[in-house]
């Protein structure tokens, strides 16, 4: 890991933020949380100013450890993230919590309600909390989540906990960009079986059985360990492959967080044994691809008039795949301008 650059300030120690007229990157580097909030809002809105600021901050991105937290609603993810952040603060100057809710097009969804309550409770200036929800037709929430993590990373936050609201495909896409993925389950309602069916083992780096204080937790741990064992012994795995641990905790009681922290640290050490650069590179490629797709979509469909052209062809009775062929050929031939009406 790179050493701390000169000029890093603990967010909680900054007493006089830079004047608002200072460039955002400068304010960010000075530890101004308002600047970080602004930058993340630009990320959410796909505002072009985000890229300008991040260009300057690019060398500072890559130091934060990113932990994704997913699992069914009610498993205790929010509680765990809150308690784990507090636990980790004993050894880290700053943590970020990013709550991402792909299911809610409105601010103030269930998860965000949790978060607002949590923000009110969290008085530790070393913990930065932010939430994001999908906004109507605007896709790109996974992209925005990566951007927000990059912004927190550049700000100097050491560890980011990224929580999703549930366990669907959208949630997987969001946590896929993190370094260590925790899947949180709890006893009850056949969750273990459901989790395995949902392909949860595929995304988890650490399986967390929360609510270890409740009956059935031991059983769930055993079931999951068996499932992991079967999976790891039926597939041919490379030497030194990561073996997914199952850890029982009680977030509500703040118990066994040390064990969880140990597994996260071990997974990090495993990645840092020469694997991290390649893994992060492939995740960064996925991010770049998402941004390219978003940009092209905007340029072609919104500004390029592709929708009108497609509509006219369909109205003319052409078969859908003929329309596709015509449009793709036109795009590849450079026959669609992103700056207005299509060329005749
Ligand atoms: N018994 C018990 N309840 C817990 C524990 N952790 C969280 N809960 C409760 O489980 C419920 C759901 O927790 P929450 O963190 O909102 O779950 P999320 O939907 O996964 O974010 C809340 O009522 C919590 O108080 C725990 O360790 N033990
Ligand atoms: Mg929650």
- Quick check: 205 pLDDT over 90? yes
Which ligand does the CA of 182 lie closest to? Answer: 1
Say what the pLDDT of residue 195 is.
58
Q: With bands split at pLDDT 50, 70 and 90, how would you rate the model's confidence at 230?
A: confident
Span 265-280, pLDDT tens digits:
999 999 999 999 999 9
Q: With bands split at pLDDT 50, 70 and 90, how would you rate the model's confidence at 122?
A: low
Taking a C-beta distance cutoff of 8 angstroms, is the pair 206, 161 a contact?
Answer: no
Q: Exposure of 337 by Cβ count < 10 A (0-12 exposed, 13-18 middle, 19+ buried)?
A: middle
CA–centroid distance, residue 276 to ligand 2 (Å):
29
For ligand 1, say whether the CB of 250 is within 6 Å of any of its atoms. Answer: yes
Say what the pLDDT of residue 305 is.
87
Q: Exposure of 289 by Cβ count < 10 A (0-12 exposed, 13-18 middle, 19+ buried)?
A: exposed
Higher-confidence position of 239 and 178 = 178
| Whole-prediction pTM | 0.87
Q: 299-334 as b/e, with b when 16 or more CB fall inside 10 Å?
A: ebeeebbbeebbeebeeeeeeeeebeeebeebeeee
Determine the Cα–Cα distance for residues 38 and 73; give it in Å rounded to an integer.
29
What percent of the chain is predicted at pLDDT more than 70? 82
Mutate to test the pocket of ligand 1, among 252, 253, 255, 260 (most ligand atoms within 8 A of CB): 252
Looking at ligand 1, which residue's alpha carbon is closest to its atom 24? 76
- Quick check: 213 pLDDT over 80? yes
Q: How many CB atoms lie within 10 A of CB 24?
A: 22
Lowest mean pLDDT among 21-35, 78-92, 99-113: 99-113
Say what the pLDDT of residue 335 is.
85
Higher-confidence position of 169 and 22 = 169
CA–centroid distance, residue 100 to ligand 2 (Å):
10
Say what the pLDDT of residue 84 is.
97
- Quick check: 15 pLDDT over 50? no
Domains of the chain, by residue range, sit at: 58-272, 275-344
Q: Directed axis angle between helix 77-88 and helix 110-121, to 10°? A: 30
For ligand 1, say whether the CB of 251 is within 6 Å of any of its atoms. Answer: yes
* Mean pLDDT across 201-217: 93
Quick one: which atom of ligand 1 is closest to the CA of 210? 27
- Decide: helix, strand or coil at residue 129: strand
Q: 244-267 as b/e, with b when 16 or more CB fall inside 10 Å?
A: bbbbbbbbeeeebbeebbebbeeb
Say what the pLDDT of residue 167 is.
82
3.40.50.300, 3.40.50.970, 2.60.40.1840, 3.10.20.30: which CATH number matches 58-272?
Answer: 3.40.50.300
- Calculate the CA 16 to chain-centre distance: 31
Say what the pLDDT of residue 3 is.
42
CA–centroid distance, residue 113 to ligand 2 (Å):
9
Q: What is the secondary structure of 296-328 as a DSSP string?
A: HHIIIIIIS-HHHHHHHHHHTT--HHHHHHHHH
Q: With bands split at pLDDT 50, 70 and 90, how would you rate the model's confidence at 235?
A: confident
Lowest mean pLDDT among 26-35, 172-181, 293-302: 293-302
For ligand 1, say whether the CB of 178 is within 6 Å of any of its atoms. Answer: no
Give the residue among 106, 112, 155, 140 at the shortest CA–CA distance from 5.
155
Span 184-195, pLDDT tens digits:
999 985 655 565
CA–centroid distance, residue 74 to ligand 1 (Å):
6
């Amino acid at each position: 890991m790179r050493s701390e650059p000169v000029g890093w300030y603990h967010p909680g120690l900054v007493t006089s933020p830079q004047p608002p007229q200072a460039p955002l990157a400068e304010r960010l580097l000075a530890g101004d949380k308002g600047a970080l909030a602004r930058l993340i809002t630009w990320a959410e809105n796909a505002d072009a100013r985000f890229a300008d600021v991040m260009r300057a901050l690019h060398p500072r991105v890559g130091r934060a450890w990113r932990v994704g937290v997913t699992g069914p609603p009610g498993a205790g993810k929010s509680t765990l993230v809150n308690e784990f952040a507090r636990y980790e603060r004993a050894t880290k100057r700053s943590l970020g919590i990013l709550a991402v809710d792909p299911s809610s097009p409105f601010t103030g969804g269930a998860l965000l309600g949790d978060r607002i309550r949590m923000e009110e409770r969290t008085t530790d200036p070393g913990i930065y909390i932010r939430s994001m929800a999908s906004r109507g037709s605007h896709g790109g929430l996974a992209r925005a989540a990566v951007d927000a993590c990059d912004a927190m990373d550049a700000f100097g936050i050491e560890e980011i906990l990224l929580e999703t609201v549930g366990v669907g495909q959208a949630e997987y896409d969001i946590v896929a960009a993190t370094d260590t993925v925790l899947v949180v389950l709890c006893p009850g309602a056949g969750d273990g079986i459901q989790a395995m069916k949902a392909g949860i083992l595929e995304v988890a780096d650490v399986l967390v059985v929360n609510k270890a204080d409740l009956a059935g937790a031991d059983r769930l741990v055993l079931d999951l360990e068996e499932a992991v064992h079967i999976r790891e012994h039926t597939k041919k795995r490379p030497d030194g492959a990561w073996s997914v641990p199952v850890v029982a905790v009680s977030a509500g009681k703040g118990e066994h967080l040390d064990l969880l922290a140990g597994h996260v640290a071990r997974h990090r050490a495993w990645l840092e044994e020469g694997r991290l650069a390649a893994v992060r590179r492939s995740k960064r490629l996925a991010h770049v691809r998402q941004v390219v797709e978003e940009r092209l979509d905007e340029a072609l469909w919104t500004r390029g008039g592709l929708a009108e052209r497609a509509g006219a062809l369909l109205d003319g009775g052409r078969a859908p795949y003929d329309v596709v062929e015509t449009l793709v050929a036109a795009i590849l031939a450079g026959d669609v301008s992103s700056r207005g009406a299509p060329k005749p």
